């Protein structure tokens, strides 16, 4: 079975290839799924995708691919969004982020949006889903209390997605009197980030790997 994966932001192609031998393409945009649907692939994996710089992958492209008998698996970022909308039509969704969108816990696209390096597609801002999980972990570890977690999260949510960074968020929290000093919260976030998007990206790859074995 032949698989093609759209990724590059939540997990780099080199790391992805170490998990699954497949064809890797940059984050998906409008028309890309339509293009690969006629190239003989049995499975299409959608991890990362374009949101604002280019038109996002259309639902009808994915539906058309599935009607041709191609299995489509999504999770992590754009894959999670589309899977939460199209799982009733047969798209396979995996991972925490997919489940959050599916269950209505998350609704906004900007929860997974990041600014990327245009050449490498590597993220240069922090996705809100990672910030949520990292702040929750910091709370669980006793670095901050629940009230502070909610206040810091609100600061992050109010920022436009390209501006989200742990340094900027924590500095604003200090300026607003939410926390008395940058450390230890900043140190915790930088050194112990809960990268839920990468974990979900890996799960997409592992799911496809299992499908290929069947």
User: What's the whole-number mean pLDDT along residues 176-182?
Assistant: 96
User: What's the whole-number mean pLDDT along residues 38-50?
Assistant: 97
Does pLDDT of 41 surpass 80? yes
What is the spatial distance between Cα 98 and Cα 103, in angstroms, rounded to a whole number?
A: 9
pTM: 0.96
Q: Residue 48: helix, strand or coil by DSSP?
A: coil
Q: What is the pLDDT of residues 66-111, one digit of tens each?
A: 999 999 999 999 999 999 999 999 999 999 999 999 999 999 999 9
Cα–chain center distance at 44 = 17
What is the pLDDT at residue 54?
80
What interhelical angle do 59-67 and 78-86 show, nearest 10? 70
Q: How confident is the model at residue 196 (pLDDT cuts 50, 70, 90)?
A: very high
Q: Residue 153: helix, strand or coil by DSSP?
A: helix
What is the spatial distance between Cα 205 and Cα 19, in angstroms, rounded to a whole number?
A: 7
User: Could you tell me whether strands 23-25 and 43-46 are parallel, antiparallel, or unpaired per DSSP bridges?
Assistant: unpaired
What is the pLDDT at residue 51?
80
Q: How confident is the model at residue 186 (pLDDT cuts 50, 70, 90)?
A: very high
Q: What is the pLDDT of residues 138-166, one digit of tens each?
A: 999 999 999 999 999 999 999 999 999 99
What is the pLDDT at residue 70?
98
What is the pLDDT at residue 52?
73
Does pLDDT of 123 surpass 90? yes
Percent of the chain with pLDDT over 90: 97
Q: What is the mean pLDDT of the chain?
A: 97
Does pLDDT of 53 surpass 80? no
Residue with tokens 């374009």: 50
């Amino acid at each position: 079975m032949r698989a093609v994966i759209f990724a590059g932001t939540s997990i780099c192609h080199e790391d992805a290839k170490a998990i699954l031998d497949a064809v890797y393409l940059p984050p998906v945009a409008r028309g890309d799924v339509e293009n690969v649907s006629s190239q003989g692939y049995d499975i299409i994996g959608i991890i990362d995708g374009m949101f604002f710089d280019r038109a996002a992958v259309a639902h009808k492209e994915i539906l058309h691919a599935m009607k041709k008998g191609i299995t489509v698996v999504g999770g992590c970022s754009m894959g999670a969004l589309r899977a939460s909308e199209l799982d009733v039509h047969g798209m396979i969704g995996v991972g925490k982020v997919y489940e959050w969108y599916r269950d209505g816990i998350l609704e906004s696209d900007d929860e997974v949006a990041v600014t990327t390096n245009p050449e490498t597609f590597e993220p240069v801002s922090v996705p809100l889903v990672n910030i949520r999980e990292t702040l929750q972990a910091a709370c669980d570890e006793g670095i901050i209390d629940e009230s502070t977690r909610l206040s810091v999260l609100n600061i992050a949510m109010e920022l436009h997605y390209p501006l989200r960074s742990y340094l900027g968020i924590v500095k604003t929290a200090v300026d607003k009197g939410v926390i008395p000093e940058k450390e230890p919260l900043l140190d915790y976030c930088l050194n112990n980030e809960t990268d839920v998007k990468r974990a979900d990206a890996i799960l997409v790859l592992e799911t496809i790997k299992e499908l290929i074995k069947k």
